[in-house]
Amino acid sequence: MKSLKNHFSLIAALFTILFTIQVYQVLNRSISSYEESLRANYSIVVISDSNLEEASLKSKFSLVRTLEEISPEKVIKRLEKEMDKTSLGLLRASLPKFYKLSLEHYPQPSEIEILTSQLLNMKQIKRVESFAQTHDQIYKLLLLYKGVTQIFAFAIFIVTILLIAKEMRIWQFQHQDRMNIMALFGAPIMLRSAVLFRLAILDALIAATLVVSSFTIIINTGWVEPYFDDINIHITIFNYAKDTFIHYGVALSLSIILALMLVVNHKEEV
Amino acid sequence: MDKVIIAKDLTLSYNANETIINQCSFEISSGEFVFITGASGSGKSTLLKSLYGALTPKQGELAVGGVTMKNISSKKLNFLRRHVGIVFQDYKLIKEWTIEKNVMLPLIISGYAKDVSEIQVQKLLTHVKLNHQLGKYPLELSGGEQQRVAMARALAHNPIIILADEPTGNLDDYSSQVIWNLLEGACTQLKTTVVVVTHHIPETMKTDYKHLHIEHGSIYEVS
């Protein structure tokens, strides 16, 4: 019963760590997805006297992803009733070229500033509209999300260390008697600690399996995705190949490190 | 007779300030039965610890079974311990293992085949009259029975030396007598060297023995 309790305490600690890692992953993915949707929807409008070439612009500015001409026809059509054909023809000929610049990633305010000033340095570009104020607000909100996530990750790290330290002490008490007695009869270190490693690996496998099963249930019941759909974020809550590998890897690494630290720190009673 | 234990100007201490055994010399021959006596805190157990490598000599020389104990590597120490049987006053049985597995421990460590180990364990537990308790756990047995299990474990791998630290310290007269008989039997029948740390030498001893007495950090042979 006591041994079962000790088993449970390591499984519970590992389960907590792994579950939190997955929650952190989901949060991170939703932020990346949000950042990607911001990037996709954000563009800079450039007004130029002459034609701009996408290739030439991309070679000058690595941040530029695409250059797309905005047709003025929509505006001209609205004026058809008020102006005659000759005036419209003159207007069409005198209008500058409008371009929509989409970027490689969602830029920082400083990047927009630099890009704007560099674009304005080109002779043919008359104006650049970056919608800086709106962008700035959204960018700060994104930074806030990222900051909160990082604090959350740091908190996980601290809790993990504390849980591991606690587990180490429990394991030390639990196993040191047996390891001492085995040492007295000449057992080499690997034989002395074999039980420890066997238990650590078994507990790690159980904890990782529990987390994978929990997220399988969460996905199959489908109560998380609608919340993300509501805010137009489409992410993979649990990637079976990648996340399963991460959980088994982390669980095994942590428990083996824990067992190794016990073995290294084990001192024979004198 | 071959010398199994040789100590020359041996000094033992746990720290720099206090010396427990001070520049002592003695020899123990193969197949000899040796008692080490002395008052509480005189250094009897400390000396025994140095014989199984739990404490390394501060100065002087100590060789056990031909192995020099000063600066001994863990590999050599493990090798030596696989040829030594140790019995403690507090038995030092593994609580979560059955009696059978506890006795089997030295055989597992020495790499004996499972079937050979099982036969040997059966034989020893029959010898100590505990063959009906195979599947029990140490805490289900009395102190005397636990010490008999510890004796069976110490004998399991046919050691060249048995080191016993107050093996009857916690036992009643009957259980004590059983343990003395087993130790004497190991010495006379198996020709195993037996070194016992004790407060009192039992009056019922039939075997010839050597008596080393520790006082004020010195070791004297009592004739």
Nearest residue in chain A measured CA to CA from B108: A187
Nearest to B139 by CA among B89, B97, B86: B97
Q: State how far residue A179 is from chain B, nearest Cα, in angstroms.
A: 9
Does domain B30-55+74-222 correspond to CATH entry 3.40.50.300? yes
Q: Provide the pLDDT for residue A215.
A: 94
Q: Provide the pLDDT for residue A3.
A: 62
How many alpha carbons lie under 13 Å from residue A80 in its C-beta half-sphere? 7
Looking at this protein, which amino acid is placed at residue B21? I
CATH architecture of A43-130: 2-Layer Sandwich (3.30)
> What phi and psi, each to the nearest 5 degrees, are found at residue B64?
-125, 125
Q: Are A204 and A254 in contact (CB under 8 A)?
A: yes
DSSP letters of B147-200?
A: HHHHHHHHHTT--SEEEEESTTTT--HHHHHHHHHHHHHHHHHS--EEEEE-SS
Q: Provide the pLDDT for residue B165.
A: 94
Q: State how far residue A169 is from chain B, nearest Cα, in angstroms.
A: 19
Cβ–Cβ contact B152 with A under 8 A: no
Give the range among A86-100, B26-40, B135-149, B207-221 with minimum mean pLDDT. Answer: A86-100
Tell me the whole-structure pTM to 2 decimals.
0.70
DSSP letters of A18-52?
A: HHHHHHHHHHHHHHHHHHHHHHHH-EEEEEESS--
- Residue boundaries of the structural domains of chain A: 2-37+148-265, 43-130
CA distance B90 to B88: 5
Q: Provide the pLDDT for residue B63.
A: 95
Tokens of B182: 């087993």
Q: State how far residue B209 is from chain A, nearest Cα, in angstroms.
A: 26
CB A187 to CB B78 under 8 A?
A: yes
ipTM of the complex: 0.90
Per-residue confidence band for A173, with pLDDT thresholds at 50, 70 and 90: confident
Nearest to A182 among B80, B105, B110 (CB): B105
Residue A252, helix vs strand vs coil: helix
Q: What is the DSSP letter of B82?
A: T
- Residue boundaries of the structural domains of chain B: 30-55+74-222
Specify whether the backbone of A33 is left (phi greater than 0), alpha (psi in -120 to 50) or beta. Answer: alpha
> What phi and psi, each to the nearest 5 degrees, are found at residue A217?
-65, -45
Q: What is the pLDDT of residues A85-132, one digit of tens each?
A: 888 888 877 888 899 999 888 888 888 889 999 999 988 889 998 887
Where do the DSSP E strands lie in chain A? 43-48, 64-70, 97-103, 125-129
Nearest residue in chain A measured CA to CA from B55: A270
Q: Are A57 and A64 in contact (CB under 8 A)?
A: yes
Tokens of A133: 């104020």
